[in-house]
Amino acid sequence: MGEIWDRVTAVQPPPSTSVLALTAAVAAALVLVPGLWPVARHAVTVAHEAGHAVVAALTGRRLTGIRLHADTSGLTLSRGRPRGPGMALMLLAGYPGPAVLGLGAAALVAAGRSVLLLWVLVAALALMLLLVRNLFGLWVVLAGGVGAWAVSWYATPDVQTAVACTLAWFWLLAAPRTVLELAVSRRRAGARTSDADQLATVTHVPAVVWVAVLLVVTVAAALAGTAILLPDVVAQVSGGPPNG
């Protein structure tokens, strides 16, 4: 336990600009390359459903299970009032989930806490494992947890930092893409069962407004995460003095 605590609380030097640039390029490839995105998107679905689950628990709803499917869709099941603030907040939490996770990851990476980020992911996925109700979902969550643990325990500090940086960039970049996919799917498909459409039913605010809100939130999170990871670059672009 002492060794685990030492690893979790270890502080590493913040990543260099070259490492940040390289990991950003890797994350962008995972989000933009057609052959990679369908696989990488499972990590977004996990964060999406975790967002639903966390807010459902915080608002007093009873969680009954999470399902993750091979087509990268997911479903979080809960019991409670079918309308009202709790239901609306739970529905609203899904798409910003990866963005919030990316922001938190960026803050930990910038503070030299890459290993702590990996262990937080291990703990969160272990809890999520208790809620998953289908075999494919169990495999996805278990594979993610084992991967994060293996990197935190066996990889060198440089590799740990690189992996943490890639995860932060990936969630920050992936969150807006999923909202854009939502907008496209709503335009093409006849069915209206998305989070935005369910929010429209609960709140009587048009779904297109909720899609716009989700896009603004995720893009703002991506910009804020970039400012956390690359403060000097952002300062130069904005015309301000570099930090430090």
DSSP 75-133: EEEEES-SSSHHHHHHHHTTTHHHHHHHHHHHHHHHTT-HHHHHHHHHHHHHHHHTTB-
pLDDT higher than 60, residue 244: no
The domain total for the chain is 1
Category of 104 on φ-ψ map: left (φ > 0), alpha (ψ -120 to 50) or beta: alpha
The token pair that represents 49 in the structure block: 């459903």
Question: Is the whole model's pTM more than 0.85, yes or no?
Answer: yes
Q: What is the pLDDT of residue 233?
A: 63
pLDDT higher than 80, residue 238: no
How would you label 48-66 residue by residue, b for 16+ Cβ within 10 Å and e otherwise?
Answer: bbbbbbbbbeebebebeeb
pLDDT higher than 80, residue 117: yes
Q: Which domain holds residue 11?
A: 2-234
Question: How far is the C-alpha of 239 from the C-alpha of 36, rounded, in Å?
Answer: 36
Question: How far is the C-alpha of 80 from the C-alpha of 171, rounded, in Å?
Answer: 30
Task: Tell whether 242 is covered by a domain.
Answer: no
Q: What is the pLDDT of residue 9?
A: 76
Residue 131: what are its φ and ψ, rounded to 5°? -100, -15
Task: Tell whether 239 is covered by a domain.
Answer: no
The answer for residues whose C-beta is within 8 angstroms of residue 31's C-beta and 6 or more apart is 37, 40, 170, 173, 174, 177
Q: What is the pLDDT of residue 186?
A: 85
Task: Tell whether 241 is covered by a domain.
Answer: no
CB 114 within 8 A of CB 161: yes
Task: Tell whether 49 is covered by a domain.
Answer: yes
pLDDT in tens, 124-175: 999 999 999 999 999 999 999 999 999 999 999 999 999 999 999 999 999 9
Look-up: residue for tokens 């716009």? 212
Question: Could you tell me the pLDDT band of residue 234, with boundaries at 50, 70 and 90?
Answer: low
| Least trusted range by pLDDT, from 5-19, 34-48, 137-151 | 5-19
For 69, other C-beta atoms within 10 Å of its C-beta total 14
DSSP 13-37: PPPPHHHHHHHHHHHHHHHH-TTTH
Q: Which of 134, 166, 172, 132 is nearest to 147 (CA)?
A: 166
pLDDT in tens, 203-228: 999 999 999 999 999 999 999 999 99
Task: Tell whether 46 is covered by a domain.
Answer: yes
For 157, other C-beta atoms within 10 Å of its C-beta total 13
Task: Tell whether 244 is covered by a domain.
Answer: no
Largest distance between two CA atoms of the chain: 56
